[in-house]
Amino acid sequence: MASTWFGASVKRKEDPAFLQGKGRYIDDIHLPGMLHAAFVRSPYAHAKVGRIDKDAALTMPGVHAVLTFADLPEPVRRQTLPLLVPHPALRQPFMPHALVKDEACYVGEPVACVIADSRYLAEDAADRVEVEYQPLPAVNDCRDALGEGAPLAHAGAESNVAARFPLRVGDADRAFSGAAHVFREKIYQHRGGPFFIECRGAIAQYDAAADSYLLHVSSQGSHRLKRCMLEMFDLGDHQVRVVTPDVGGGFGPKGAFYPEYVNIAVASRLTGRPVKWIEDRRENFLTTHQERDQYWDMEIAVEGNAKIIGVRGQLIHETGAYVPWGIVLPWITATTVPGPYVIPNFKLDVVSVFTNKIQTTPVRGAGRPEAVVTMERLMDRVARELKLDRAEVRRRNFIQPGQMPYNVGIIFRDGRPVTYDSGDYPACQAAALAASDYAGFGSRQAEARKAGRHLGIGISNAVEATGLGPYEGATARIATSGKIAVYTGATPQGQSHKTTLAQIAADQLGVDYNDVTVVTADTATISLGMGTFAARTAVNAGSSVHLAAKEVAAKAKKIAAGMMECMEDDLELDGGYVRLKSAPDVRKSFAEIAVRSIGTPGFSMAGGLAPGLEHTSYFTPEQSVYSNGTHVAEVEVDIETGAVRILRFTVAHDCGRVINPLIVDGQVVGGVAHGVGNALFERMVYDENAQPLTTHFGEYLLPLATDVPHVDLVHLETPSPLNPLGVKGAGEGGTIASIAAILSAVENALEPFGVTVAEAPISPQRIVELLGEHALGRTR
Amino acid sequence: MADTRNITVTVNGEAHSREVETRLTLADFLRHELNLTGTHVGCEHGVCGACTVLVGGTSARACLMLAVQCEGQEVVTVESLAAGGKLNPLQQAFQDHHGLQCGFCTPGILMTLTEFLREYPDPSEAEVRTALTGNLCRCTGYQAIVAATLDAAKRMRGGA
Ligand code: FES
Ligand code: FES
């Protein structure tokens, strides 16, 4: 296959519109007669909801309707929102209704929905809806939730346990009993929310004549939301179309199905007008899914030479009020712990716990960053205790390239054993150490200390399951005009699918990538889709586009061969023509071939060909493919203020073959920035009644341009044997390993003071606290 | 009843007269009254910078201003940057360096930098980063934005 576009750093097709303010995000869509929704939300983390008086609101100017639970249609009242990934370990699969029925379980849970001529009027009226609340004891902390006599997050539940599940490899207890050294670490982790800059939003439009709904929604997967709508409203396939326009960031939580979408659909049917709801930032802090607290209690057993013989412990994971993704998040966390290391014996007991806070679901990295922090903290501990270099301890424990494919011995969330397909972990770490001048750090640190400055360096390694199935699809079609379109259910939020998928198709069809139009995330254009999350699109959609376009190319040759009376093998595709290799002027245009492909009225199709110059493929990977990376962070810690400055940041990573290096670099660097936030700043704080305290960007800090370092990148390329393109996912690796590297560096900088770091985020206040007397002695 | 005023605001060189509620923000006025949806709203409390426009030549948060405060003023938005549909040097540098991913923060960042590069035609990396602290980008990690800005400054100095 000639590869003109695959691998090239071509410019993005998305950019000209975005740069001129001509993107089309959800709030840019205006439909004639459109009304606007605002929600009345529970001010309590846990409360019985009694009488709702909507009379005053209904008399306000411009108000069209106020919905409460009792006003919802029967199928919607009967059901809770769908649980997308059920699992037998889930003991209590609590899910919310579209509006609170009688018990609110987190602050912000929608109680009523007000529809008015404008958002301003809808909010005015929402203030006038009177709701009787009877507060109930709330559960704020997932450890407390497990205690005897703890309040219940859901009245009448058997306990606050959502699920318990174990992971086992070998016999950890026996391994520990014979170990030379055993070290124990307790680690706390919190990642906050996705905080895409465009909040959520949707527009529902009910068409009475067709008895169907059109939902425009800022999402990560139109098809999954369609499925949810069909279930909630008990509808046929033809009655819901979901379209996702341009999306201003998703990072995981925009992939979920939220109650607001149901409400505006109900309201559109009721009023006969399109209804729009746009989340404001306060609502976003309260009601968009987050990735919050995990408490780890872990032990590592090693031989005298630092070789790992076992890892064991327990993880308490907070799921929040409901379980929309079942146990996906803690499961991914648990299965990511072993990483690139040989761990013959492994035992982890996981408990997922309800609290009265917004639910936790995957945010960029999806539970993996926590696993990497945990494992890498243990590795640093081993190095410290055995007085070995931290890189050396890792080196001694790496899975070697010759061991690939490597079966870790546990089952991943794709239902398959965690089997690493390929990768060279020692080489990856070596490349990162070289690029970051790890060897020279000792003297940099010593120099700085002479000047009273505290530098630290940290390393982390990660292996990431990417390209999760079951599939993504693509239809490649050449219209009778000769123009090429690719349709897919993949749903970009900044990942540049319209460029990268066009590159893949262009190679097969012998055209410029600008001549391929990629249409994403419209359920009317392709029947099945999963969406864009879990670093899966390059593998799944990319492979499908490749296969579909290849079929179309073959078909074009077959038809052209008939038209030109020659052999297919004598033909090639170039510039929108199928031509004779030996005489390029002898050719048929795509338009001519496409016209022939659709047949002529009254005549039989020639040669048994299926009609149309098009093909649909659904690539179904047999298992995940595993990307890997090493991050090295070099930081300076100000021991008086606790401020951390990242001086250098190096990433060596391997995501298989790269479709567009410019875009992959962007994904990795952006991912690191997210990790910087998670390591140093981002924390969603709740008071003891589970009332959120950080509800704007003045209190919840996102990393700024001055906080995020320049990232030096080193690319390694181990093609995956498991898909036709050899690609692996690239969207999350930047986040997954970066938090651990930064924590390690901070700890290293504070080594002279005996400070250890066992939590993320680690804020300046916390660093000062940990420094205790050392810092006070300087500041007083 | 809602309190309203008649205002005339010049946006991207064109005068617009409207009767508006006094509580209408400039961002909503641009987006929903004038259909200039390039100016984005990311937080409505003055932190993210997605809504940045120029008012009287100076950058301003369109979410924190009321439309009535712009009576008689000149407002410039992202829609004005590409004269005749041709990307200006800053926009072109953003595309060349992959300075945007989802593109939602981009209009505000372009307006911030439009003002910045006027004042600092030859900035250092540190100055660019400081100039960007009023804009949040969750996608890019800022690195490509910084590279694009430095390159744009160079192109503009070269008259390109
Ligand atoms: S929307 Fe104006 S600063 Fe965020
Ligand atoms: S490009 Fe997405 S927020 Fe900046």
In a domain, A687, yes or no: yes
Q: At A773, is the pLDDT very low, low, confident or very high (cuts 50, 70, 90)?
A: low
Record: contact A495-B35, CB cut-off 8 A? no
Q: Are residues A434 and A486 in the same domain?
A: no
Cβ A194 vs Cβ A363: under 8 Å: yes
Q: Which of residues 95-154 of A touch B (CB under 8 A)?
A: 120
What is the secondary structure of A598-621 as a DSSP string?
T--TTSPPGGGPPSSSEEEEEE--
Cβ A440 vs Cβ A451: under 8 Å: no
> How does pLDDT run across A543-592, given as a tens digit for each residue?
889 999 999 999 999 999 999 999 999 999 999 999 999 999 999 999 99
Q: In this structure, is the dihedral angle defined by the CA atoms of residues A497, A503, A507 and A512, taken in order, positive or negative?
A: positive
User: Whose structure tokens read 């712009």?
Assistant: B70
Q: For residue B138, give the nearest of A22, A120, A702 by CB distance.
A: A702
Record: contact B102-A197, CB cut-off 8 A? yes
pLDDT computed for residue A685 by the predictor: 96
Q: Are residues A443 and A478 in the same domain?
A: no
Q: For residue A438, with 0-12 CB atoms within 10 Å meaning exposed, 13-18 middle and 19 or more buried, which class applies?
A: buried
State the Cα angle at A265 between A113 and A215, rounded to 5°.
130
Residue of A nearest to B91 (CA): A19
Q: For residue B138, give the nearest of A197, A663, A706 by CB distance.
A: A197
Q: Are residues B8 and B75 in the same domain?
A: yes
Q: Are residues B10 and B74 in the same domain?
A: yes
Residues of chain A with Cβ-Cβ distance to B145 below 8 Å are: 705
pLDDT computed for residue B63 by the predictor: 98
Q: Are residues B150 and B119 in the same domain?
A: yes
The gap from C-alpha A161 to its chain's centroid, in whole angstroms, comes to 25
Among B80, B100, B122, the domain-final residue is B80
For chain A, the domain total comes to: 2
Q: At A495, is the pLDDT very low, low, confident or very high (cuts 50, 70, 90)?
A: confident
Contacts for B116 with CB less than 8 Å, ≥ 6 apart: B123, B128, B131, B149
Shortest alpha-carbon distance between residue A136 and chain B (Å): 31
Q: Would you call B133 an interface residue with chain A, using a CB distance cutoff of 8 Å?
A: yes
Q: Which of A11, A12, A18 to mutate to test the interface with B (most CBs of B within 10 A)?
A: A18
Shortest alpha-carbon distance between residue B38 and chain A (Å): 4
User: Whose structure tokens read 């011995």?
Assistant: A409
Which residue positions in chain B have pLDDT lower than 50?
none
Q: Would you call B29 an interface residue with chain A, using a CB distance cutoff of 8 Å?
A: no
In a domain, A2, yes or no: no
> How does pLDDT run across A503-514, given as a tens digit for each residue?
999 999 999 999
- Which residues constitute the domain of residue B133? 89-156
Q: Which residue has the higher pLDDT, A594 or A418?
A: A594
Residue of A nearest to B44 (CA): A281
The closest of A675, A622, A638, A657 to A728, measured between CA atoms, is: A657
pLDDT computed for residue A726 by the predictor: 84
Record: contact B32-A195, CB cut-off 8 A? no
Domain containing residue A775: CATH number: 3.30.365.10
CA distance B3 to A774: 59
Three-class DSSP category at A728: coil
Contacts for A575 with CB less than 8 Å, ≥ 6 apart: A510, A511, A512
Q: Are residues A597 and A630 in the same domain?
A: no
Beta strand pairing status for A110-116 and A294-302? unpaired
pLDDT computed for residue A779 by the predictor: 43
The pTM assigned to this predicted structure is 0.95
Q: Are residues A605 and A640 in the same domain?
A: no
| The two structure tokens encoding residue B8 | 């005339």
Q: What percent of chain A has pLDDT over 70?
A: 98
Position in ligand 1 atom list of the atom nearest CA B40: 1
Domain containing residue B100: CATH number: 1.10.150.120
Q: Are residues B106 and B73 in the same domain?
A: no
Is the pLDDT reported for residue A542 higher than 60? yes
Q: Are residues B10 and B73 in the same domain?
A: yes
Among A594, A619, A644, the domain-final residue is A619
pLDDT computed for residue A1 by the predictor: 44
Among B80, B99, B123, the domain-final residue is B80
Q: Which of residues 34-63 of B touch A (CB under 8 A)?
A: 35-45, 47-48, 50
Contacts for A579 with CB less than 8 Å, ≥ 6 apart: A571, A572, A573, A585, A586, A587, A588
CA distance A560 to A583: 14
SS3 content of chain A, % helix, strand, coil (to 5): 30, 25, 40
Contacts for A514 with CB less than 8 Å, ≥ 6 apart: A13, A502
Is the pLDDT reported for residue A532 higher than 80? no
**How remote is the CA of residue B108 from the centroid of ligand 1, in Å?**
9
In a domain, A301, yes or no: no
Q: Are residues B68 and B102 in the same domain?
A: no
Q: Would you call A706 an interface residue with chain B, using a CB distance cutoff of 8 Å?
A: yes
Residue of B nearest to A196 (CA): B138
Mean per-residue pLDDT, A594-598? 93
Pocket of ligand 2 (CB under 6 A): A 197, 249, 494; B 100-106, 137-140
ipTM of the complex: 0.97
CA distance A21 to A15: 10
Position in ligand 2 atom list of the atom nearest CA B109: 4
Q: Which of residues 490-519 of A touch B (CB under 8 A)?
A: 493-496
Residues of chain A with Cβ-Cβ distance to B123 below 8 Å are: none
Q: Is residue A419 within a helix (H) or strand (E), and if so which, with residue range?
A: strand A417-420
Pocket of ligand 1 (CB under 6 A): B 41-44, 46-51, 61, 63
| The two structure tokens encoding residue A178 | 């014979």
In a domain, A409, yes or no: yes
Q: Which of B143, B145, B149, B150 to mutate to test the interface with A (most CBs of A within 10 A)?
A: B143
Q: For residue A281, give the nearest of B43, B85, B137 by CB distance.
A: B43
Q: For residue B95, give the nearest of A11, A28, A196 by CB distance.
A: A11
Q: Which amino acid is at B98?
A: H
b/e code A421-430 from CB counts within 10 Å (16+ = b): bbbbbbbbbb
CA distance A323 to A317: 12
Reading phi first (left if > 0) and then psi (alpha if -120 to 50, else beta), residue A326 is in left
For chain B, the domain total comes to: 2
- Which residues constitute the domain of residue A579? 15-20+469-619
| Alpha-carbon distance values, A169 to A303, A333, A445, A486, A536 (Å) | 18, 16, 40, 44, 27
Among A595, A619, A643, the domain-final residue is A619
pLDDT computed for residue A774 by the predictor: 66
Record: contact B91-A19, CB cut-off 8 A? yes
Record: contact A20-B81, CB cut-off 8 A? yes
Ligand 2 atom 4, closest CA: B137
Least confident of A87-101, A481-495, B78-92: A481-495
Is the pLDDT reported for residue A412 higher than 80? no
Q: Are residues A627 and A650 in the same domain?
A: yes
